[in-house]
Structure 1
């Protein structure tokens, strides 16, 4: 039996104006005293800074401040942070990219004040499921779509490469230590790594479960890839085998998201489908047979880990929920 004390209310909760569909901590060091976080919903994106008592003892619990809100013409489906975002530059630079319900990408650039620019990138013919900046300088953006393509764009919106996929692209990931590689997860169970220089596939991983809904490349261990497929979470250890090292059923009614912790390569989180009774957040540790934390709020969407703390966030109905784990 699972121990009952794993079910927990959120460590911190922040009220929002509207539904939250997507939420992303900035994974890069932006020079700000706290962490930057972006979240979005039907037609807005908010950028906030947050600090937690676990990283700054002068803070009582959580200190949360919305820095800027942008109007977004369409539903926000994904958000990616640019490594160029710097709060300590003069003038400061805020840059991020969104995937929208109207099948376009938007690159927002701002100085956090009056200088704001939005570049719309058009080219996908299906819904865009994920987007990531895929160069150390933040010049290039990769996006994957239901149209069976991954496309690479420059900041001006020019398409510089395209990879044809065999099914919808669900996740795309870039790793700062493997700067010339891109990981693409396809719905029908294949995860491929591409060399961005030669534009060739160099390695593929296969899931025995389908469909893959979300995959992530571990920041702390470049050999580790994780995904949710069907009801299970699935882990590969490269280059041992193209088949999974480990998998376990996690969500009774299909799993939705998979994200590795940014500070511990054994820690990861999964969520179930929004709107279901059991669409909860589960936090897993590879050394433990059962989830080490079950988030008791019914989550809606979005899942992201803090850059340095074992703390993750999910979006809800007019709320952000933050869970801290002890591991």
Structure 2
């Protein structure tokens, strides 16, 4: 487990309020800039990011707000639509979890769809772009992570808190593969290698190779206290990041590489929340107290 000898973020962007969740779009925006959304208590912001690694004329990071949305609910999860592009009207979906009520929104920057659903913590539900429910999968414990894969467009990964990760065929709506572990806090499907799945359990990170076994092939301690989130890099199949559960003040970020026994980088964010990777750069972002913190690392 790692002591909290933190490095400062490579870049920071100020925000008007506390950030609960942040998500880079994994899809091309149609321009050099990347789409990024973040949300918190009763608000969500959609903007663009451009970094000096992408444009030498940029000093550090250039962040431009496209639109801010204000509503009555806290935003705890974000998911980008593949149709989100800057040369068209950006589209974003987000889900707000409050007790046993989920509000589903689909923003087209001018149109809003709002549906309320009850008692679904033990269900995984899928909607189409028109907001119609197209599939429901009953879970044996609360769902903690859901992942689509651009190379496996008819497969859906759903991770449950009890430690089961299932892959569903969206055509037959049947489970086709399952992975097992102890209690999970988070799981993610590697976008650059479809056989890799990662997650965090207790204070450890776990890696599965779905062609070899239903149990993790690698398991290592990461955080002194419990781990909270796991996210694969979108630029390198061996690079991933984990965050610890928020402490009294700070949340620890650790960037790992499967080829190195020690972390690539360790960071700390004041009451940090959310974790996402840039589409092409080895750069991840964590939300915090009135700011976004970005860490650039080596491939």
The Cα shift of 1:73 comes to: 2.1
Q: Is the 8 A contact 2:250 2:268 kept in 1?
A: no
Q: Which residue of 1 aligns with 2:265?
A: 293
| 2:137 matches 1:172 | no
Q: Which residue of 2 aligns with 1:234?
A: 206
Q: 1:252 aligns with which of 221, 224, 227?
A: 224
Total equivalences in the alignment: 296
Q: Which residue of 2 aligns with 1:37?
A: 36
Q: Which residue of 2 aligns with 1:9?
A: 8
Alignment of 1:168-247 (within 5 A): 168-207=142-181, 209-210=182-183, 212-247=184-219
Q: Which residue of 2 aligns with 1:317?
A: 289
Q: Which residue of 2 aligns with 1:97?
A: 93
Distance in 2 separating the partners of 1:2 and 1:173: 28
| 2:148 matches 1:149 | no
| 2:28 matches 1:56 | no
Q: Deviations over 1:108-145 (max 9, x none)?
A: 112xxxxx01101222425xxxxxxxxxxxxxxxxxxx
Alignment of 1:123-134 (within 5 A): 123-126=117-120
Q: Which 4+ residue blocks in structure 1 deviate beyond 4 angstroms? A: 1-4
Shifted more, 40-49 versus 151-160: the winner is 151-160
Q: 1:119 aligns with which of 113, 120, 145?
A: 113
Q: Is the 8 A contact 1:280 1:299 kept in 2?
A: no
Distance in 1 separating the partners of 2:67 and 2:268: 30
Q: Is the 8 A contact 1:230 1:254 kept in 2?
A: yes
Distance in 2 separating the partners of 1:63 and 1:310: 17
Q: Is the 8 A contact 2:145 2:187 kept in 1?
A: yes
Distance in 1 separating the partners of 2:15 and 2:57: 24
C-alpha RMSD of matched pairs (Å)? 1.7
Q: Give ranges in structure 1 of 5+ residues lacking alignment.
A: 111-115, 127-146
Distance in 2 separating the partners of 1:274 and 1:195: 35
The Cα shift of 1:275 comes to: 3.5
The Cα shift of 1:312 comes to: 0.3
| 2:282 matches 1:282 | no
Distance in 1 separating the partners of 2:217 and 2:278: 26
Q: Under a length normalisation based on structure 1, what TM-score does the superposition of the two structures give?
A: 0.87
The Cα shift of 1:278 comes to: 6.0
Q: Under a length normalisation based on structure 2, what TM-score does the superposition of the two structures give?
A: 0.95
- Structure with more contact order per residue of length (Cα contacts < 8 Å, sep ≥ 6): 2
The Cα shift of 1:178 comes to: 0.5
